[in-house]
Structure 1
Amino acid sequence: MKSKLLYLLICISLVACNTEESLTFETLNISNDACENCTSVSIEIPKALGQIKLSETINIALQEEIIALLNFDEESNAQTIEGATEAFVKDYKELNGKYPEESMPWEAKINGSIIFENKDVLTIKLESYIYTGGAHGYGTNRFLNFDKIKKVELDRQELFKNEDEFKAFTETIFRKQEDVPADATINSTGFMFETERFYLPENIGYTDKGLLLFYEPYEIASFADGPIILTIPYNDANNFLKISVMP
């Protein structure tokens, strides 16, 4: 009798754990009613389903990132993606009302995709293109990393056991990849590190091929140079990561 009761309790526990940790997604599409010569907004991102903490963490992080991307007016108090979309269109209309001959329609395209997931970590990449006037728009890439066990978003510094040690290791790889002599300053070949010293990019994410470091255009080089990308295999990166990945 005791063995049957124990077996039943184990089964209930396993079902409860699986239900709690279950993580599924659907595609969330948000767009405005665009017309010819009108400001357009198009958003397609993964939405985590289920009433679990991890889903809430992921959805809030994506929402906050998209609101920030669409925030042209720093006084905007949008609390949702839909609200940020409406504010983006409203800001254009107000500007167009003041300068109708100079204001080209604005555009915002944001696409999110899951680029890595295992039992411990999840990484979502947000690609965006925002045009709010001028010669050209600007594209950005954001990498959002989540600890699936602790159910929290990971800031860049939280990825590493020791960020300074990882930075020193990465500089060696960077110099080799970009042909920067080891005995020369980091900007000697035309890079534009603001402090004249190597630093890590704002965007770092897990991928199937290794840890990806993504320098945006303008971050360390000219816009014409495009992004600078390093991928460090997990065989090397795991020495520095708090959450290691089997190669």
Structure 2
Amino acid sequence: MKPKLYYILVFILLLGCQNETNLTFESLVFENETCADCPEVSIAIPKALGLTKISKTINNALEEELISLLSFDEEIEVNSVDDALQSFKNGYLELQQLYDDEPTGWEATIEGSISYEDSNFITIALDSYLFTGGAHGYASKRFLNFDKRKGIELDNSALFKNVADFRTFAEEMFRQKEDIPKDKSINYTGFMFEQDSFYLPENIGFTPKGLKLLYNPYEVASYADGAIELLLPHREVKKYLNKKP
């Protein structure tokens, strides 16, 4: 084999290895039993395959989120998604016993998807809708960010070199998007930031188009306003990140 051809083949092989950095997932589906006295439950989330640390971390984090969303019966110790489904059902049945004239059943719809992935990060978006009586249900989105190399879930603060610097930048971009003058209160146009001061949302996650800041309903605005989003392009936020996507 000629040396030049050999190096070309090695380069192609290395390039192929670099492109095979994405994790492998399968769909994991949970559904409650179908009966007249059962709430409607539909859950579909990605399950990371393999025995790596990052796969275990992702699967455990998603299970914890489902347990948190579905746990309603304090008398049951909830250690698994199946326990959480039973807890959700028990919560509904208990309410039916107290208010037997309640005509509307409970509902839980939860869907997970890969929002973004590169060699360093993976972000999973968890969309949920829960109705447990009242005038309307509650829809929300949860971003879960992970460091693939370390195999750990990341708090929002761990995404940035300096959170204060990023918050200042994010407020500037938020004011531009929402037409809030620099010399006016952040609540000038009707937002409801506590203490009249801008703060980052609980949910921050990567998407193909950039870093998304998402305030779920009630977080800084009324339910009628829905979720408030701010999408910052990758090129504008990369200087604030600990690792560049």
- Render the CA deviation track for 1:53-83: whole Å, top value 9, x for unaligned: 1110000000001110112245542111111
Partners of 2:39 and 2:106 within 8 A in 1: yes
Give the letter aligned to residue 86 of structure 1: Q
Partner of 2:3: none
Provide structure 2 residue ranges, at least 5 long, that are not aligned to the other structure: 1-13
- What's the CA shift for 1:37? 6.3
Partner of 2:150: 150
- What's the CA shift for 1:140? 0.8
Q: How many percent of aligned residue pairs carry the same amino acid?
A: 53
Partners of 1:110 and 1:127 within 8 A in 2: yes
Question: Which runs of 4 or more aligned residues in structure 1 lie more than 6 Å from their structure 2 counterparts after TM superposition?
Answer: none
Give the letter aligned to residue 108 of structure 1: A
- Render the CA deviation track for 1:191-220: whole Å, top value 9, x for unaligned: 000121000010000111000101111111
CA distance in 1, matches of 2:126, 2:215: 14
Partner of 2:124: 124
CA distance in 2, matches of 1:186, 1:206: 25
Q: RMSD of the TM alignment (CA)?
A: 1.8
TM-score by length of 2: 0.88
CA distance in 2, matches of 1:218, 1:75: 29
Give the letter aligned to residue 200 of structure 1: L
- What's the CA shift for 1:103? 5.7
Residues 191-200 or 67-76, more deviating: 67-76
Partner of 1:3: none
- Render the CA deviation track for 1:1-35: whole Å, top value 9, x for unaligned: xxxxxxxxxxxxx9xx99xx883111000001224
- Render the CA deviation track for 1:119-168: whole Å, top value 9, x for unaligned: 11100000000011100010110000000000000011111111111000
Partner of 1:238: 238
Provide structure 1 residue ranges, at least 5 long, that are not aligned to the other structure: 1-13
- What's the CA shift for 1:102? 2.5
Partner of 1:88: 88
Three-state SS of the structure 1 residue aligned to 2:239 is: coil
Partner of 1:177: 177
Corresponding position: 1:63 with 2:63:
yes
Distance 1:88 1:227, change over 3 A: same
CA distance in 2, matches of 1:194, 1:83: 36
Provide the aligned length of Structure 1 versus Structure 2: 228
Partner of 2:25: 25
Partners of 1:116 and 1:124 within 8 A in 2: yes
Partners of 1:28 and 1:46 within 8 A in 2: yes
Give the letter aligned to residue 42 of structure 1: S
Q: Which runs of structure 2 are paired with 1:1-247 in the superposition (5 Å)?
A: 23-36=23-36, 38-74=38-74, 76-102=76-102, 104-245=104-245
Partners of 2:37 and 2:93 within 8 A in 1: no
TM-score by length of 1: 0.88
Partners of 1:96 and 1:103 within 8 A in 2: no
Three-state SS of the structure 1 residue aligned to 2:240 is: coil
CA distance in 1, matches of 2:112, 2:93: 27
Partners of 1:130 and 1:137 within 8 A in 2: yes
Distance 1:143 1:22, change over 3 A: closer
